[in-house]
């Protein structure tokens, strides 16, 4: 029988907190506080056989079973589980990488929130009508769940908040574009969801450009693949991800999109004691997903749970079970009152209030603590009832006594 202390885990991470990626965009738009979707690792790991170390992994030395950290430390392992996730994919376009905003983590979200508020403050005092229009116009590249949800939130802010906070601005000047290379929004979802998302955003006044890609961005100009341009100072890039790279693993173990190729038990090809789970993992043994699993929170959570159970089974000498993804569904919220949900492999579609309730339930149960759930529900409730939110402050990191800082 496996005893509680038989497995001793060490968890290195560059951040000292866990966060729920699907709600990062709500931090960026000011509808949630960062603490609502994040939780400190050291508190999470209390009374568990897990040690936390705040450091980034720089290299894997598979021959010596060592992990090299950026703080100079070396961790020895018997079993290594790689769960390094993904980063934003700019497809080699330096102008977009340099000038646009991405939304992969809390830092990105806070940076975007600060910059959007600062841009609105600039627009409030701008006397040149053309420049004011550029400042107030926002372009979102990517029509997947993140892009659609950001567009819906920004449309709500334009309608209910902008002129309250900035009486001298005209909300009609604040154009919101969503641009995607696909022929429809929410490509992974059902046709009903494609149509519903388009209809809802269109009614909210979002300008939708499909079968179109963003090619260049700089100096207040977004260039599109159809030859047209949009004058804007803000491009939010939500058009794709690629796997985070890590030195030391053989090239034969790395597949499309930088994902690590694994067998049905999440063991990385070519290694006997290295596993990969979540967005960075790609396995082809699940017959329902012959091209790999979607890079979403639910497959990552289920893979982590299954791998833990398999390691315990292996220690007991029991038979291992291959990973099989249970698809709870795809969903997206569009504004404060509308959502679309495709459940159980798109066999069941919900929209309107039922879709919204489904979205709220799935996202709430995925948060790690009761305090996270309570704060999130409270913030959502206030935003829903008041059509407003109070998290539009600019927080500047750094030493406040630095003489370069201004009042």
pLDDT by residue for the chain (407 residues), tens digit each? Answer: 344 447 889 999 999 999 998 899 999 998 888 989 999 999 999 988 899 999 999 999 999 999 999 999 999 999 999 999 999 999 999 999 999 999 999 999 999 999 999 999 999 999 999 999 999 999 999 999 999 999 999 999 999 899 999 999 999 999 999 999 999 999 988 899 999 999 999 999 999 999 999 999 999 999 999 999 999 999 999 998 999 999 999 999 999 999 999 999 999 999 999 999 999 999 999 998 998 998 988 899 999 999 999 999 999 999 999 999 988 778 888 877 788 888 766 667 777 777 777 777 777 877 888 888 888 887 777 777 667 776 677 777 665 555 554 54
Helices (H), 187-345: 191-203, 297-316
User: Mean pLDDT over all residues of the chain?
Assistant: 89
Location of structure tokens 């099989």: 324
* Cα separation, 35 vs 39, whole angstroms: 7
Q: How far apart are CA 407 and CA 392, in angstroms?
A: 19
CA distances in angstroms from 370 to 37, 46, 366, 381, listed in the order given: 11, 16, 11, 16
Neighbour-count burial of 221, counting CB atoms closer than 10 A to its CB (0-12 exposed, 13-18 middle, 19+ buried): middle
Rounded to whole angstroms, the Cα distance separating 253 from 310 reads 21
Q: Which of 254, 257, 285, 289 is nearest to 268 (CA)?
A: 254
Query: Residues near 391 by Cβ (< 8 Å), separated by ≥ 6?
Result: 30, 31, 32, 33, 113, 379
171 DSSP 8-state letter: G
DSSP 254: B
Single pTM value for the model = 0.89
Q: What angle do CA 353, 357, 363 make, to 5 degrees?
A: 145
Domains and CATH numbers, the chain: 4-87+242-297+307-316 (3.50.50.60), 94-239+329-386 (3.50.50.100)
Are 114 and 395 within 8 A, CB to CB? Answer: yes
What percentage of residues in the chain have a pLDDT greater than 70? 93
Q: Is 104 helix (H, G, I), strand (E, B) or coil?
A: coil
Q: What's phi and psi for 54, nearest 5 deg? A: -85, 95
Alpha-carbon distance 396 to 301, whole Å?
Answer: 34
Rounded to whole angstroms, how far apart are CA atoms 100 and 141? Answer: 10
The CA-based diameter of the chain, rounded to the nearest angstrom, is 74
């Amino acid at each position: 029988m496996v005893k509680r202390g038989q497995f001793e885990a060490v968890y290195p991470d560059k951040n000292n907190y866990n966060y729920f990626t699907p709600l990062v965009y709500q931090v960026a738009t000011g509808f949630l506080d960062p603490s609502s979707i994040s939780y400190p690792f050291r508190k999470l790991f209390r009374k568990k056989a897990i040690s936390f170390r705040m450091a980034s992994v720089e290299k894997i030395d598979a021959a010596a079973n060592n992990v090299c950290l950026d703080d100079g430390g070396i961790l020895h392992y018997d079993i290594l589980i790689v769960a390094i996730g993904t980063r934003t994919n700019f497809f080699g376009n330096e102008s977009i990488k340099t000038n646009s905003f991405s939304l992969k983590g809390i830092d990105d979200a806070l940076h975007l929130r600060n910059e959007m508020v600062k841009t609105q403050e600039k627009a409030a005092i701008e006397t040149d009508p053309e420049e004011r229009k550029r400042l107030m116009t926002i372009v979102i590249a990517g029509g997947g769940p993140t892009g659609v949800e950001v567009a819906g939130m920004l449309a709500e802010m334009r309608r209910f908040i902008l002129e309250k906070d900035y009486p001298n601005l005209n909300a009609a000047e604040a154009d919101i574009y969503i641009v995607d290379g696909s022929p429809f929004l929410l490509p992974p979802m059902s046709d009903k969801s494609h149509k519903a998302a388009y209809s809802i955003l269109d009614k909210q006044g979002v300008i939708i450009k499909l079968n179109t890609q963003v090619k260049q961005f700089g100096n207040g100009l977004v260039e599109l693949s159809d030859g047209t341009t949009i004058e804007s100072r803000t491009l939010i890039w939500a058009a794709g991800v690629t796997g985070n790279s890590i030195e030391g693993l053989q090239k034969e173990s790395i597949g499309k999109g930088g994902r690590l190729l694994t067998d049905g038990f999440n063991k990385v090809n070519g290694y006997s004691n290295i596993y990969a789970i979540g967005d960075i993992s790609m396995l082809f043994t699940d017959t329902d997903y012959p091209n790999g699993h979607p890079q979403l929170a639910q497959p990552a959570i289920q893979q982590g749970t299954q791998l833990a159970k398999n390691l315990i089974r292996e220690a007991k000498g029991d038979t291992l079970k291959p990973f099989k993804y249970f698809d709870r569904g795809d969903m997206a919220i569009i504004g404060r009152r509308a959502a679309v949900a495709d459940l159980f492999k798109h066999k069941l579609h919900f929209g309107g209030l039922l879709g919204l309730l489904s979205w709220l339930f799935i996202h709430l149960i995925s948060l790690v603590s009761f305090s996270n759930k309570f704060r999130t529900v409270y913030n959502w409730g206030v935003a829903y009832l008041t059509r407003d939110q109070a998290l539009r402050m600019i927080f500047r990191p750094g030493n406040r006594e630095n003489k370069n800082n201004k009042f």
